[in-house]
Structure 1
Amino acid sequence: MKWFNRMVRSRFSKAGVLALVIACVVLQSPAVIAAPFLLAEVSASDAASLVVKKTGGKVLKVTEEERDGRWMYRVKVLLPQGRVKTIMVNKETGSVGG
């Protein structure tokens, strides 16, 4: 019976250690770390920063509007070439349109 108790204890401790290692790996995976940020909306200043990064221009105005059931930021930007362009940024995903 002693050998059985030792075997059960060693099996559970190995299983416990394995479960702990798996939990640590899963909790540190990029998907789990990024999950809370995927639910957060993009702010107006974030939208402006995304447009500046994409175009290299200067943001003139940021407004919010609904298009086809989706909330978007309308970002008016002065391009380095001197033209003014309106670029849409999805409020939920941060994707930058043309």
Structure 2
Amino acid sequence: MSKELLGIIFLPAGIIFMCMAALFQMYVMMTETYTLNRYRDKALVWRVAVLFLSFSLGVYWLCPNARKKGILFLILGAGGALMYGLARVWLPFSR
């Protein structure tokens, strides 16, 4: 298999993996931070959700239930970024 063919496969696959990582991250944060349901003000819920998303690494570090889920997020995110980067290097039109 040539590098160009792998680049054509890796480019969309890398983007899809990174999107899956982002969606999985949102799922983990919403399931691990279930206490947000007690807020009646919807704007406050989204502000708190954004705050939790920005501190997601802390959640993976401190919450024992989320640690196993963090491995999948790391594999999807890093794998997707690696595939996207390799595709950008290998494809001739990306220069």
What TM-score, normalized by structure 2, do the two folds share?
0.29
What TM-score, normalized by structure 1, do the two folds share?
0.29
Computing the radius of gyration from Cα coordinates, the structure with the larger value is 1
Higher relative strand content: 1
